[in-house]
């Protein structure tokens, strides 16, 4: 123990000598510095070998060779065992998911719609409630708020309550509306299912029901915003925009977004079109394929993509950047635009979803219907056409309404920026109808790519299952709407536990890739670090441990320290760098010594 702290003391003394070194005096030569480094490395290695007893441990193993055997790993067998364990984990989560979806459909089918609710008819916990605000009137919307008793949860690393579920309602939705109150009424029965699932599998994490109305009910209950965060921060979360909801709400699709870039859309209308297209791209998941085409006298791709591409984060970012560069000029020629769009959609020489085919038209209106183009390319109506009239104008809307109705699509109006978000996601309800009609055949648990959990659980994947409306209309026809999506999270840490690295050689590790080509499991797959200082300290410890454990010469690669003045001589710059390195070495050696002697 004394040897370790002696080394720390010597480094500290050395640092003080360097710190007090006059900037006007001669800087130590490279040979002198190298001798210091070699001496420090030698002392560190000696300290580590003496304190850790590594030599004695090696001798014990040599002495007892008859008590153990060294066998070669079977890589295929290790991978098969890990895959089987992961499959078992996901299968258990899927059972909870299926139970939740079935119970949700049953509860909604037996629910009686109510136009009015009395005070305190609806009892729930709103995750965005300020528990310290006694002035809030809970009875204004016909509901009563629950005040759960929270406890710190080591699994979720935040406050939770297993006695209740929490409800999140988007900021732009009135929680006292009749639709929301009815949703709160029938989804309250899901709380018992959540609890029953956890009783059967205590390792379950978040269980969530995302409604098509935007309401999200999740278990266990937990405040939406931590008290440590800025209280005035605007909450823009909408469950319908989450990747797991998008993936579960509709089957894969090939989408061609057609943008009117004629001179008539210049100004505010063009800004609304750009924003609308950006929001439309956000409704796509990695299972979808997309491209954006603008047209006026001619049609052209807005980006470098000349065909449909996978709607992953990288490609959507490229398309968004290109959309912002669209300029308005020329005249509107729907024939040129739709011809170009259909040719891309019907091009089977490139990868695509090969499921739903859609054209999304964003325009300010026009007099042309382009009937011959639809007759040529879409006589069998296999491509749906959705049209959006953007901006406030007096153009004839009849032609673009006809385009949508004649091609199994819908017509929407976006007069202002407030109408963009809701209108660009309503098409998902239309695409969900074939799934509802297909019934159980369309019900398959899907697993998302890795993403960062909104409630700070870290990196997760989510299993999703659509929830169908099984009620019938007055004419006896089955309702063709999706109620929402059920989701169950699996933490990446849980998957890592099933792939222990001690079963491999020191430099071996497991990794996994999903069908979309995304890395699911890898030692370097980590969320972004929150603190630079924390990273620097951990790098210092890793640096010292590399010297201790491997006893190999290393090359120091450091970042420049923040200097007060930019006008420094070469000797001052080198001195500052050396001081910074020594400070980090002292911190690392202190931590390493502390750990070794515990």
pLDDT digits (tens, 9 = 90+) for 71-94: 788 888 888 888 899 999 999 999
Q: What are the CA-CA distances from residue 264 to residues 137, 339, 424 (Å)? A: 49, 21, 22
Q: What's the mean pLDDT in 256-282? A: 91
Distance CA 321, CA 203 (A): 42
Q: What are the CA-CA distances from residue 332 to residues 249, 297, 371 (Å)? A: 34, 6, 15
- CA-nearest of 206, 197, 193 to 156 is 206
Higher pLDDT, 10 or 471: 471
Of 14-23, 532-541, 555-564, the range with the highest mean pLDDT is 14-23
pLDDT tens digits for 287-309? 889 999 999 889 999 999 988 99
- pLDDT band of 571, cuts 50, 70, 90: very low
The model's pTM is: 0.72
Torsion angle of alpha carbons 143, 147, 150, 155, nearest 10°? Answer: 0
Is residue 161 within 8 A of residue 148, CB to CB? The reply is yes
**Counting Cβ atoms within 10 Å, is residue 93 exposed (0-12), middle (13-18) or buried (19+)?**
buried
**Counting Cβ atoms within 10 Å, is residue 198 exposed (0-12), middle (13-18) or buried (19+)?**
middle
Distance CA 538, CA 528 (A): 14
Distance CA 40, CA 46 (A): 10
Distance CA 8, CA 43 (A): 11
Residue 273 has pLDDT above 60, yes or no: yes
Beta bridge partners of residue 208, listed in sequence order: 218, 487
Q: What's the mean pLDDT in 255-283? A: 91
Query: Residue holding tokens 């390195």?
Result: 581
Distance CA 289, CA 544 (A): 48
What 3-state DSSP class applies to 200?
A: helix
HSE toward the beta carbon, residue 357, CA cutoff 13 A: 18
What 3-state DSSP class applies to 388?
A: strand
pLDDT tens digits for 24-38? 567 778 888 888 888
- CA-nearest of 28, 454, 31 to 208 is 454
Q: What are the CA-CA distances from residue 583 to residues 11, 12, 223, 542, 568 (Å)? A: 9, 8, 41, 15, 21
Residue 336 has pLDDT above 80, yes or no: yes
Among 188-197, 522-531, 572-581, the range scoring the smallest mean pLDDT is: 572-581
Residue 420 has pLDDT above 70, yes or no: yes
Percent of the chain past pLDDT 70, that is, above it, reads 77
Distance CA 478, CA 438 (A): 12
pLDDT tens digits for 210-257? 998 889 999 999 988 654 455 556 677 888 888 888 888 878 889 999
Q: What's the mean pLDDT in 504-515? A: 80
Q: What's the mean pLDDT in 259-288? A: 90
Higher pLDDT, 469 or 3: 469
Backbone angle region of 169, left / alpha / beta, with phi > 0 → left and psi within -120 to 50 → alpha = beta
Residue 588 has pLDDT above 60, yes or no: no
Among 109-118, 445-454, 538-547, the range scoring the smallest mean pLDDT is: 538-547
pLDDT at residue number 281 = 92
Query: Cα angle vertex 460, ends 229, 516, to 5°?
Result: 130
- pLDDT band of 535, cuts 50, 70, 90: very low
Beta bridge partners of residue 475, listed in sequence order: none
pLDDT at residue number 540 = 42
HSE toward the beta carbon, residue 242, CA cutoff 13 A: 32
- Phi, psi dihedrals of residue 178, rounded to the nearest 5°: -60, -40
The residues, ordered by sequence, that sit 6+ positions from 243 with a Cβ below 8 Å of its Cβ are 285, 286, 448, 449, 451, 462
Of 144-153, 370-379, 425-434, the range with the highest mean pLDDT is 370-379
pLDDT tens digits for 97-156? 999 999 998 998 888 888 888 777 788 898 887 644 444 544 445 556 788 888 898 888
**Counting Cβ atoms within 10 Å, is residue 273 exposed (0-12), middle (13-18) or buried (19+)?**
buried
Distance CA 206, CA 209 (A): 10
Distance CA 53, CA 62 (A): 15
Distance CA 420, CA 276 (A): 6
- pLDDT band of 206, cuts 50, 70, 90: very high
- pLDDT band of 387, cuts 50, 70, 90: very high
- pLDDT band of 322, cuts 50, 70, 90: very high
pLDDT at residue number 527 = 67
Distance CA 287, CA 313 (A): 12
């Amino acid at each position: 123990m004394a040897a370790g702290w002696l080394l720390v003391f010597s480094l500290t003394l050395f640092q003080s000598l360097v710190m007090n070194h006059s900037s006007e005096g001669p800087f130590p030569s490279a040979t002198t510095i190298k001798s210091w480094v070699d001496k420090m490395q030698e002392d560190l290695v000696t300290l580590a070998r003496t304190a850790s007893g590594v030599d004695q441990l090696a001798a014990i193993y040599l002495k007892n060779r008859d008590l153990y055997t060294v066998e070669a790993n079977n890589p295929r067998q290790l991978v098969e065992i890990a895959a089987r364990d992961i499959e078992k984990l996901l299968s258990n989560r899927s059972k909870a998911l299926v139970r939740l979806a079935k119970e949700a459909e049953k509860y909604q089918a037996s629910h009686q719609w109510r136009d009015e609710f009395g005070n305190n008819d609806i009892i729930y916990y709103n995750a965005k409630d300020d528990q310290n605000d006694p002035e809030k009137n809970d009875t204004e919307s016909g509901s009563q708020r629950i005040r759960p008793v929270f406890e710190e949860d080591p699994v979720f690393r935040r406050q939770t309550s297993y006695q209740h579920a929490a409800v999140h309602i988007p900021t732009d939705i009135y929680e006292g509306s009749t639709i929301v109150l009815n949703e709160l009424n029938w989804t309250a029965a899901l709380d018992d299912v959540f609890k029953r699932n956890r009783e059967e599998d205590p390792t379950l994490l978040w269980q969530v029901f995302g409604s098509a109305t935007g309401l999200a009910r999740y278990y266990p209950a937990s405040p939406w915003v931590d008290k440590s965060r800025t209280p005035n921060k605007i909450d823009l979360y909408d469950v319908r925009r989450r990747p797991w909801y998008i993936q579960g709400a509709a089957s894969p699709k090939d989408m061609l977004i057609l943008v009117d870039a004629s001179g008539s859309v210049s100004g505010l209308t063009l800004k609304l079109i750009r924003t609308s297209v950006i929001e439309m791209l956000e409704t796509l998941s990695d299972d979808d394929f997309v491209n954006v085409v603008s047209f006026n006298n001619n049609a052209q791709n807005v980006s470098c993509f000349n065909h449909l591409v996978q709607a992953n984060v990288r490609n959507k970012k490229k398309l968004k950047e290109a959309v912002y560069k669209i300029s308005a000029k020329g005249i509107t020629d729907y024939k040129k635009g739709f011809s170009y769009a259909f040719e891309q959609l019907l091009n089977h020489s490139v990868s695509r979803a090969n499921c739903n085919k859609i054209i999304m038209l964003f325009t300010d209106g026009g007099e042309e219907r382009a009937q011959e183009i639809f007759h040529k390319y879409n006589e069998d109506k296999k491509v749906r056409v959705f049209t959006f009239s953007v901006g406030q104008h007096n153009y004839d809307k009849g032609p673009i309404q006809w385009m949508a109705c004649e091609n199994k699509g819908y017509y929407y109006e976006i007069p202002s920026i407030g109408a963009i978000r809701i209108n660009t996601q309503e098409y998902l309800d239309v695409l969900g109808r074939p799934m509802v009609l297909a019934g159980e055949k369309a019900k398959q648990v899907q697993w998302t790519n890795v993403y960062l959990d909104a409630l700070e659980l870290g990196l997760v994947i989510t299993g999703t299952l659509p929830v169908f409306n099984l009620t019938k209309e007055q004419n006896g026809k089955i309702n063709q709407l999706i109620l929402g999506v059920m989701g169950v999270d699996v933490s990446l840490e849980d998957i890592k536990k099933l792939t222990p690295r001690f079963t491999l050689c020191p430099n071996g590790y497991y990794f996994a890739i999903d069908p979309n080509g995304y890395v699911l499991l890898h030692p370097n797959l980590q969320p972004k670090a929150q603190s630079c200082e924390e990273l620097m300290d951990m790098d210092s410890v890793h640096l010292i441990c590399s010297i201790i454990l491997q006893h190999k010469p290393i090359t120091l690669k450091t970042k420049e320290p923040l200097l007060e003045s930019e006008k420094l001589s070469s000797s001052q710059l080198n001195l500052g760098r050396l001081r910074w390195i020594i400070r980090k070495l002292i911190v690392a050696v202190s931590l390493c010594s502390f750990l070794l002697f515990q």
